[in-house]
Amino acid sequence: MLSECLDPAREAEFADWYDHHLARFVATGLFHRASRYDLATPGTGAPYLALYETNEPLARVAAELEPAIDRMRAAGEITPLIEVKHRVLLETMTPGRYAFGDDDPSAITGLLLMANNPKTPGTDDAFNRWYDDVHRIDIRDTGLYATMNRFKAVEDGEVRYANLYETTLPDVERALAGLDDFRPKWQAAGTLYADRVNTLRGAYRLRARVG
């Protein structure tokens, strides 16, 4: 979920609320882990990102999430400061997670969020083969990321495929800006997939995690 705080003067209050909100989401029993991030690359996306991970059937999550949020709202547990910009239910693709070297969750400092779709209808298979067989290797060889995680939207919408590249870099901004060092090489080698459109992008700094 991507969001922003409606009152910049109350960002600290908003952040404190979000820290407690993560625990409330885990307490619903729908999610086993909740994490929140803030944008490390200003101007590239919404200021705040929250990820809620589940091992439950997605049909259950889809059916029970809105009632759970309604109960939180009725109890005064949803801040009026939040404006949701995007909320997408995603399922892990197969294969969907690739670890590059030491996969230590405690070392993660943030991630790069990239959501993109194939432009030409009916080319999803070719697009996904490129991601798994070609782009994965290019991403691994940058040395910028610890993991690459691929997801597909459960419902049709603006976002069809989302990719989370976790990083251990102290400077999380490099998770996005650092790609500029490699893109010319990929273009020269013909390993970039031109027939796609980006819908979301930004490097996000990990701020809190529950679970």
User: Could you say which of 86, 104, 133 is where a domain stops?
Assistant: 86
Per-residue confidence (pLDDT) for residue 188, from 0 to 100 = 97
CATH number for position 115: 3.30.70.100
3-state secondary structure of 189: helix
Same domain, 198 and 132: yes
Give the separation between CA 147 and CA 35, rounded to whole angstroms: 16
Same domain, 150 and 53: no
Provide the number of structural domains found in the chain.
Answer: 2
Same domain, 200 and 123: yes
Same domain, 71 and 107: no
SS (H, E, C) 60-122: HHHHHHHHHHHHHHHCCCCCCCEEEEECCCEEEEEEEEEECCCCCHHHCCEEEEEEEEECCCC
Rounded to 5 degrees, what are φ and ψ at 78?
Answer: -110, 120
Same domain, 17 and 71: yes
- Angle among Cα 104, 110, 113 to the nearest 5 degrees reads 115
Q: Which domain holds residue 100?
A: 91-210
Same domain, 97 and 114: yes
Same domain, 101 and 188: yes
The total number of residues written for the chain in this structure: 211
Q: What are the residues whose beta carbons fall under 8 Å from the beta carbon of 92, sequence distance 6 or more? A: 149, 150, 151
For residue 63, CA distances in Å to 90, 92, 131, 159 come to 14, 19, 31, 20
Same domain, 137 and 203: yes
pLDDT truncated to tens, each residue of the chain (211 aa)? 999 999 999 999 999 999 999 999 999 999 999 999 999 999 999 999 999 999 999 999 999 999 999 999 999 999 999 999 999 999 999 888 999 987 788 999 999 999 999 999 999 999 999 999 999 999 999 999 999 999 999 998 999 999 999 999 999 999 999 999 999 999 999 999 999 999 999 999 999 999 9
Same domain, 110 and 146: yes
Contact yes or no for 77/21 (Cβ under 8 A): yes
SS (H, E, C) 12-55: HHHHHHHHHHHHHHHHCCCCCEEEEEEECCCCCCCCEEEEEECC
Which residues are 196's β-sheet partners?
A: 118
Same domain, 151 and 184: yes
Q: What is the pTM of this model?
A: 0.94
User: Could you say which of 86, 118, 152 is where a domain stops?
Assistant: 86
User: Could you say which of 45, 60, 86 is where a domain stops?
Assistant: 86
Per-residue confidence (pLDDT) for residue 156, from 0 to 100 = 87
Same domain, 95 and 81: no
Give the separation between CA 206 and CA 163, rounded to whole angstroms: 16
Per-residue confidence (pLDDT) for residue 167, from 0 to 100 = 97
Q: Which two tokens stand for residue 19?
A: 């820290």
Give the separation between CA 37 and CA 99, rounded to whole angstroms: 21
Per-residue confidence (pLDDT) for residue 116, from 0 to 100 = 93
Same domain, 74 and 127: no
Which residues are 6's β-sheet partners?
A: none
Rounded to 5 degrees, what are φ and ψ at 40?
Answer: -95, -10
Q: Which two tokens stand for residue 1?
A: 């979920």
Which residues are 182's β-sheet partners?
A: none
